[in-house]
Amino acid sequence: MFAETNFSKNLNFRKVEKKSKIKIQNSVMLNIILFGPPGSGKGTQAIKLKEKYSLFHISTGDIFRREIKGNTPLGQEVTKYLNAGKLVPDEVTFKVLAAEIVNNPEQCEAGILFDGYPRTIPQAEIMDQYFEKNKTPVSVVLSLNVNDEEVLKRILLRGKTSGRSDDNDENIVRERLKVYKNQTLPLSEYYSNQKKFIELNGEGSVEEIFASLGKEVDALVSR
């Protein structure tokens, strides 16, 4: 029960649950997590999956940037942590995610595609609680496997046009990979224990990788 967790006490789940039930009662709704290291191509593939399967694409990074740019109360809260050099707390991150779902009920009808979330086991646990409470647990986790040197090459290349300072410094990129392995990669075991984790080759052309992802999503849709 949500009432038994610190997260749920802070997030007012009753309000979220009531509004989102319109969507979540659909038994064929897909909740898909796109998983992989930074530079694995999650963003590119998420756009293609969103378009093909009419999924609602949620990227916490994109939402944070939007809220910060708009100087909203949530954006101000996120900025406070970032300026202090701290990670945004799990409860704040999930508050962002839950609000995005509640505020976009029609777009969530076919399903939701999570890009870059969850990043830690505590985030996954609170996410599981929320969706299982609403009887639409995570359907599958599709993991794009890319070796470290390929990731490094991709991100440094992206840095030439992205404008992100953390895409241009090799040391920073390697540190991001280290954080990914320490904090995010353990999720592979977490979801493997739920028999929801599928590993795919994330190296190859965009279309080859998309075909592999599409095959797995088609298998879910046809059940």
CATH code (residue 162): 3.40.50.300
Q: Is residue 89 part of a domain?
A: yes
Q: Is residue 186 part of a domain?
A: yes
Q: Is residue 173 part of a domain?
A: yes
Cβ atoms of 88 and 78 within 8 Å: the answer is yes
Give the residue numbers spanning the domain of 114: 2-217
Which tops the pLDDT comparison, 161 or 144?
144
Q: Is residue 196 part of a domain?
A: yes
Q: Tens digits of per-residue pLDDT, 100-143?
A: 999 999 999 899 999 989 999 999 999 999 888 888 899 999 99
- Distance, CA of 89 to chain centre: 15
Q: Is residue 159 part of a domain?
A: yes
With cut-offs at 50, 70 and 90, classify the pLDDT of residue 28.
low
With cut-offs at 50, 70 and 90, classify the pLDDT of residue 223.
confident
Q: Distance (Å, rounded) from C-alpha 165 to C-alpha 155?
A: 11
Amino acid at 33: I
pTM of the model: 0.82
For the chain, how many residues are written? Answer: 223
Q: Is residue 222 part of a domain?
A: no
Give the total number of structural domains in the chain. 1
Q: Is residue 108 part of a domain?
A: yes
DSSP string, the chain: -GGGSHHHHHHTHHHHHHHHHHHHT-TT-EEEEEE--TTSSHHHHHHHHHHHHTPEEEEHHHHHHHHHHTT-HHHHHHHHHHHTT-PPPHHHHHHHHHHHHHT-TTTTSSEEEEES---SHHHHHHHHHHHHHTT----EEEEEE--HHHHHHHHHHHHHHH--GGGT-HHHHHHHHHHIIIIITTHHHHHHTTT-EEEEE--S-HHHHHHHHHHHHHHHHT-
With cut-offs at 50, 70 and 90, classify the pLDDT of residue 9.
very low
Kindly report the backbone phi and psi dihedral angles of residue 200, in degrees, each rounded to the nearest multiple of 5, phi listed first. Answer: -130, 155
pLDDT in the model for residue 151: 95
Nearby residues of 157 by Cβ (< 8 Å), 6 or more positions away? none
Q: Is residue 223 part of a domain?
A: no
pLDDT in the model for residue 85: 62
